[in-house]
Amino acid sequence: MSQQYNIARLGHQGDGIADGPIFASRTLPGEIVSGTLEGGQLTDIRVEAPSDERVKAPCRHYKSCGGCQLQHASDRFVADWKLGVVRKALEAQGIETEFRPIHTSPAASRRRATVSVRRTKKGTLAGFHGRASGVITEIPDCQLLDPVLIAAIPSVEELAMIGGSRKGELAVTLTLSEVGLDVSVRGGKPLDGPLQMTLAQVIAHKGWARLAWDDEIIAMANPPRQRFGAALVVPPPGAFLQATKDGEQALLAAVLEITSGSKRVIDLFAGCGTFSLPLAETAEVLTVEGEAEMTAALDQGWRMARGLKAVTATTRDLFRRPFMPDELAKFDAVVLDPPRAGAEAQISELVQAKRPVIAYVSCNPVTFARDAERLVSAGYRLNWVQVVDQFRWSAHVELAASFTLSHMND
């Protein structure tokens, strides 16, 4: 008889954890499970006593696909767990605050996904990788992606037949735009004249807005615009974009509320203008982004829009050259949306600049809590946190947070 284990909690990656620690994927706190122990990982897991929060996974691909980690848990459990992840990260830094109800994006709303595709002896195979596996699982009934993305997967397989090697895989990023599908491919054969001509014919037949091959634009039938407030922006191929429009709107609503009434705003890690351009409807904005192509796209979007206040788009590496207190002095609100590493160098300057309002958007509760502690120690108050779950059924957590200088709250 195999040994049994009691699952005590979930880790940050969504795995159940028993004493040891022993990690057991797709298990829940309070469950008794058995399986084969390999190092610190339990495999061939059998749930001997299930949790009341365990549900039947809504997607038939769940067992083999690695795209989701938490479909076996009730929506209520996942929401409470994600709130708890952020709360515990802050508590570890000695911070308590108000948590607003979590905002969860609906199923079938992911507007962007990277599909793995490779050639096989019989043809092609496209989908998501299994958990910690090189095996690709086909996902025709995926419950996560917008149906338009799923419908495009057979066309993605054609790209592998045309430009994929038998040894490697293509990574094909599919993004919904205002005018059609934006397709960006990495890992294919080197681009030469014949391949470029063939790929150009593909986009003509498929009706895609744009096709890029290793960042080189092959053809663009229609600029794949994204709407940010009153502006339409054409991001560079494969550029960062919030995972769902619904989640983006929830984060934007929080940022607009935090900065309400501000006349001069600086948007750090601005991307292509997700927050900057809507902010420009009521405030002058300086945007700062490390990628020059994204800065150019933002600037062009602003120039083509009507009725917006001044937006000055700047390219600058904020990890190496953060904005200094004297540069920040003229702004009455700061927005920052850093990558997973957080904004440690920039926070060091912000605590000295003492700008009255900070809207912090984060995709990593641990680095957010680290940066929040620096701000709170410097005299800021963390007023509230809005957790946004736009990566439904995954362990990923996003949030927006409101900081103001303590004297403003007196």
Confidence of residue 279 (pLDDT cuts 50, 70, 90): very high
Residue 167: what pLDDT? 81
Task: Let me know if 121 is exposed, middle or buried by CB neighbors in 10 A (0-12, 13-18, 19+).
Answer: exposed
Q: What is the mean pLDDT of the chain?
A: 95
Confidence of residue 80 (pLDDT cuts 50, 70, 90): very high
Residue 277: what pLDDT? 98
* Model pTM score: 0.95
Buried-exposed string 142-173: b where 16+ CB fall within 10 A, e elsewhere: bbbbbeebbebbebbbbbbeebbeeeebbebb
Q: Is 223 helix (H, G, I), strand (E, B) or coil?
A: coil
Whether residue 272 lies in the annotated active site: no
Residue 408: what pLDDT? 58
Percent with pLDDT over 90 in the chain = 89
Higher pLDDT: 135 or 251? It is: 251
Q: What is the mean pLDDT of residues 364-385?
A: 98
Least confident segment among 196-205, 230-239, 266-275: 196-205
Would you say residue 373 has pLDDT above 70?
yes
Residue 393: what pLDDT? 96
Percent with pLDDT over 70 in the chain = 99
Confidence of residue 409 (pLDDT cuts 50, 70, 90): low
Q: What is the mean pLDDT of residues 175-199?
A: 94
Both structure tokens of 216: 């080189």
CB 295 within 8 A of CB 287: yes
Residue 244: what pLDDT? 97
Residue 165: what pLDDT? 80
Q: What is the mean pLDDT of residues 150-159?
A: 92
CB 304 within 8 A of CB 231: yes
Q: What is the mean pLDDT of residues 300-312?
A: 98
Residue 389: what pLDDT? 97
Residue 168: what pLDDT? 85
CA distance 388 to 100: 10
Q: Is 282 helix (H, G, I), strand (E, B) or coil?
A: coil
Residue 1: what pLDDT? 54
Peptide bond into 106 cis (omega under 30): no
Could you tell me which residues come within 8 angstroms of residue 245 by beta carbon, excluding any fewer than 6 positions away? 109, 111
Query: What are the pLDDT digits (tens) for 230-267?
Result: 999 999 998 999 999 999 999 999 999 999 999 999 99
Higher pLDDT: 322 or 12? It is: 322
Least confident segment among 107-111, 116-120, 323-327, 406-410: 406-410
Residue 122: what pLDDT? 84
Would you say residue 134 has pLDDT above 90?
no
Closest CA to 223 of 177, 269, 273: 177
Q: How many helices (H) and strands (E) does the chain have?
A: 9, 24
Residue 66: what pLDDT? 87
Residue 246: what pLDDT? 98
Place of tokens 């890992």: 187
